[in-house]
Amino acid sequence: MEEKQIHPNESLAIISSMIDTAKNKIADDGFLYIFWGWNVLLAAMIHYFTVKVGIPGGALSWAVLMPLGGLVSAIYGRKQRKKERVRTYVDEYLGYNWMAFLIGLFITLIMMSVHGWKVSYFFVMLLYGMATFISGGLLRFRPLLIGSLFSFVFAIVSVFAGELDQLLCISAAILCSYLIPGYMLRSKYRSQQNV
């Protein structure tokens, strides 16, 4: 079989086109941001309203919904890896980013019994902000970057809020840093799939 000779300018154009496509293609469909956004928002609101109206056991919403969310995420991740044709550096870096987030979250939650809810919620919101800021940078997706800043702001606000009001801070942080950017990311991803 005879190989077609490509002019150096054609070769550079092909390589440049491939790089531009890889840079501009969103590597994330937003599902996990949306899923975890609703999962955390639901847990925080159940906890908040049950305490507010005096129903015991509202904090159990975290113990039920978070492991369930972990299971759904693991199944989703497994299916996505099977569909994946190519794994980019962005995909790999995102994986490391979210693994670091989970390690930090695990340590924060273990230390909750020592430092209490108030300190722990502050650090959880900082972790939300850091993970979504890094993801936004890697994906070159401004709404995640901007949303992450809200997590930082609500973390600061939570320091001055009562323990119960911190659940409202977490809810607002998750809305701004996960849900809104997640839906925007999904929209951008879908529009790219239709091209």
Q: So what's the pLDDT on residue 9?
A: 66
Cβ neighbours of residue 30 under 8 Å, at least 6 residues apart? Answer: 181, 182, 183, 184, 185, 186, 187, 189
Question: Which residue in 78, 80, 65 sits closest to 35, CA to CA?
Answer: 65
Q: So what's the pLDDT on residue 21?
A: 47
Question: Which residue in 67, 80, 69 sits closest to 34, CA to CA?
Answer: 69
Helices (H) and strands (E) in the chain, counts: 7, 0
Rounded to whole angstroms, how far apart are CA atoms 45 and 32?
Answer: 19
Question: Which residue in 97, 179, 192 sits closest to 144, CA to CA?
Answer: 179
pLDDT tens sequence across 98-111? 999 999 999 998 88
pLDDT tens sequence across 49-87? 999 999 999 889 999 999 999 999 999 988 888 877 667
Q: Could you tell me the two tokens for 26?
A: 């969103």
Question: The pTM is what?
Answer: 0.82
Band (22; pLDDT cuts 50, 70, 90):
very low
Rounded to whole angstroms, how far apart are CA atoms 48 and 163?
Answer: 10
CB 37 within 8 A of CB 182: yes
Rounded to whole angstroms, how far apart are CA atoms 177 and 148?
Answer: 5
- In angstroms, the Cα distances linking 103 to 131, 137, 167 are 12, 21, 22
Q: Could you tell me the two tokens for 158?
A: 């939570």
Better pLDDT: 55 or 29: 55
Q: So what's the pLDDT on residue 146?
A: 96
pLDDT tens sequence across 114-168? 888 788 899 999 999 999 999 999 988 999 999 999 999 999 999 999 989 999 9
